[in-house]
Amino acid sequence: MAKPVNNLIDLLLNDNIKALKPYESARRLFSGAGNKQQVWLNANESPFANDFTIDAERFNRYPDCQPPAVIDAYAAYADIQPNQLLVSRGADEGIELLIRAFCTPGKDSVLICPPTYGMYAISAETCDVGIERAALNDDFSLNVDAIKAFKGKVNLVFICSPNNPTGTSVDKNQLLEVIEHFADSAIVVIDEAYIEFDKDNSWAAELTHYPNIAILRTLSKAFALAGLRCGFTLAQAPVIQALMKVIAPYPIPEPVAQIAAQALSSKGLVTLEQQVAVINQEKALLKSALAKFADVELVGDDKANFILFRTPQKSALMNHLVASGILIRDQSKQVNLDNCLRITVGNPEQNKQLLSEISRFFTLQTSTQEA
Ligand SMILES: *Cc1c(COP(=O)(O)O)cnc(C)c1O
């Protein structure tokens, strides 16, 4: 018998994969964190869990690749044509499909504008696609000149608006300048995962004018369906047809399609609107309460369902909250976000609990300092 190679996996593993670590998603970071009733304010999920029904009658059949009930309902919701839409396993799969369809491994690159969402870079890395960076300005606006300098060097430009984790919306004119500058050389991917909290700033209505934009959407945030794994890419038909070449044959499980269609029904959209209103109201309360702490500085803007803030006591506060069963997200490793923490807006009860723990933390700090 041949001697087994004890480093077989090292031998076979792609060079670009060797250095990677599994993505530290909010859920992975805390998956084993105790059995207490945890308050999850770390992944920008909705605090609302809505009811759905499932019909098992067709579970013996493969599902449609692009279930018409979902495509038609979302196209109507976004006010675009069905042939300008792709449904995928979350917006995250949309990111990966764009990279796989439009970037040649080992040769092409994408451009990202940090601080921003982590999956653009992760997907590029796993596909052996290069990553260029044009950091946002200090006020988190686009550094348009820095971005424009990458013309001819990148195939995709990822721009997140409202941006995670800064909560800032990208200025229309800045974005327009970028889209026009890359008109004959790159697709500008506008990530609108949080657009329901910033309704007036969607680019969906502009799709028909720009062959080089793609818009990412999701049911994971405002629609309260992160567990469903359902997202969308909006673009002109040629872009969608290119993505259809790389998507799996049956990407949307039948139960997912059924639930997505219910979420997009007129009743589902009423629920969406009500819940977005509650979150916006809670966000305003949370923001003004946080701003009152001497050691808290609000950072960025509030155009999504989360709040970013800076505190010199970042690590101690994070530890205190985790010990109290409240999970939030450390963003301090991102450029320009030293000492920054991100809090997802929860339901009224969770937000109250959060504020009372933060208050307790700062009171304890002060009494320790005075002692
Ligand atoms: C949450 C999030 C996504 C991922 O959405 P899924 O549909 O859950 O994959 C994409 N982009 C941004 C900016 C996000 O915050």
What pLDDT is attached to residue 367?
A: 76
**How far is it, in rounded angstroms, from Cα 69 to Cα 21?**
38
Low-confidence ranges of the chain (pLDDT < 50): 33-35
Is 80 close to ligand 1, i.e. is its CB under 6 Å away? no
DSSP string, 229-293: --EEEEE-HHHHHHHHHHS-SS-S-HHHHHHHHHHTSHHHHHHHHHHHHHHHHHHHHHHHHHHTS
Strand residues in the chain grouped as ranges (E): 39-40, 85-88, 109-112, 130-133, 156-160, 187-191, 213-218, 231-235, 297-299, 306-310, 326-327, 329-330, 340-344
Q: What is the chain's Cα-based Rg?
A: 22
Is 92 close to ligand 1, i.e. is its CB under 6 Å away? yes
What pLDDT is attached to residue 35?
A: 47
Is 43 close to ligand 1, i.e. is its CB under 6 Å away? no
Among 42, 74, 92, which is best to mutate for testing ligand 1, by the most ligand atoms less than 8 A from CB? 92
Residue 35: C-alpha distances to residues 30, 114, 199, 321, 359 (Å): 11, 35, 38, 15, 24
Is 47 close to ligand 1, i.e. is its CB under 6 Å away? no
CB 60 within 8 A of CB 245: no
Crossing angle (nearest 10°) for helices 314-323 and 348-370: 120
Taking the CA of residue 94 as reference, the ligand 1 atom at the shortest distance is 9
What residue owns the CA closest to ligand 1's atom 5?
91
What pLDDT is attached to residue 33?
A: 47
Rounded to the nearest 10°, the torsion over CA 147, 197, 342, 95 is -50
Q: Is 227 helix (H, G, I), strand (E, B) or coil?
A: helix
What pLDDT is attached to residue 305?
A: 98
Is 196 close to ligand 1, i.e. is its CB under 6 Å away? no
Is 45 close to ligand 1, i.e. is its CB under 6 Å away? no
Is 90 close to ligand 1, i.e. is its CB under 6 Å away? yes
**How far is it, in rounded angstroms, from Cα 207 to Cα 81?**
10
Is 186 close to ligand 1, i.e. is its CB under 6 Å away? no
**How far is it, in rounded angstroms, from Cα 246 to Cα 97?**
6
Structure tokens at 287: 């923001």
**How far is it, in rounded angstroms, from Cα 47 to Cα 57?**
31
What pLDDT is attached to residue 319?
A: 96
Find residue 345's DSSP bridge partners.
none
CB 324 within 8 A of CB 288: no
What pTM was estimated for this model as a whole? 0.95
Among 28, 169, 196, 221, which is best to mutate for testing ligand 1, by the most ligand atoms less than 8 A from CB? 221
